[in-house]
Amino acid sequence: MYIIDVFSGCGGFTQGAKQAGATVILAVDSWKDALDVHALNHPETEHWHEVVGGDPSLFAGRLRAVADLKVPAGEHLHVHFSPPCQQLSGVNHSRNELKGLALVEWAFQVAELLCPDSFTVEQVRNPLLLRTYAHLPHRIYKMCEHGIPQTRVRVLFGDAPALPLAPAEPILSFLNDVNILPGMCITNHNMKRVLGKKSKPIAYATRDLSQTSFTVTRAQPQLYRNMKATILPIEVVARLQTFDPNYFAGLKMCVARRLIGNAVPPSFAELVVRELKKSLQHELPFTVCPQEAGGRGQCGTHDG
């Protein structure tokens, strides 16, 4: 399987695809810091640093030219899109959902014009997004149900395979080198807005350390005790997002945290690509009807 990764960021989907045995031939993103890290970790991949969202027919034509050159005859081409989620995320209270949907629509247009063997478009589980594209095949994934150690929830449109179920490790198993004090728990204090809590002092949403971590973002999760929150080491945050911490070696902590928080967890991408490859081998359909998108799991999930 040969893959084009559009809105690649620092390479979470690319890394997972490679772990699944796929070849990533092209990565495209406008975020230079992210693409530089992608290129450092995946030097064999071609990289386009550019703003996307222009004429979809021109962009699809350029992708086709790369695919014709780099994908051997008879091999499978998969194109993955991860449009920015900030304008659709529930934790962004100044979000512009129509702006966020515009790049999702653009991704669908490019996929339709390019007509690869398969494609996926990844996004947060936004109500307007799901209503707008309810007619398209999609599947909702709760990461903690597939071994990813956080409560992140994402939707894949397009050729979205069923994934095997696996338990997720608790946050405590990632804190071997962290000083754990009595009464300490994990928090995602941005959730106070989601939960509608505005009490003083701040009402933090918390989880016991025996539970799965909150969704990894630029600043969260954090350790919490006695009304004080402490950021986690970058190595812990990377592992929660299923990256090898060495992937971000040498970066400033603030840059690395932003890259990690915006990435697709590589282990999730690996599962997706492995199941797509299995479907190819057995000539099975990839997609599901909208009604099949699963219900709420037991590990507790939210969209971030």
Catalytic residue numbers, as ranges: 85
3-state SS record for the chain:
CEEEEECCCCCHHHHHHHHCCCEEEEEEECCHHHHHHHHHHCCCCEEEECCCCCCHHHHHHHHHHHHHHHCCCCCCEEEEECCCCCCCCCCCCCCCHHHHHHHHHHHHHHHHHHCCCEEEEEEECCHHHHHHCCCCCEEEEEHHHECCCECEEEEEEECCCCCCCECCCCHHHHCCCCCCCCCCEEECCCHHHHCCCCCCCCCCCEECCCCCECCCCCCCCEEEECCEEEECCHHHHHHHCCCCHHHHCCCCHHHHHHHHHCCCCHHHHHHHHHHHHHHHHHCCCCCCCHHHCCCCCCCCCECC
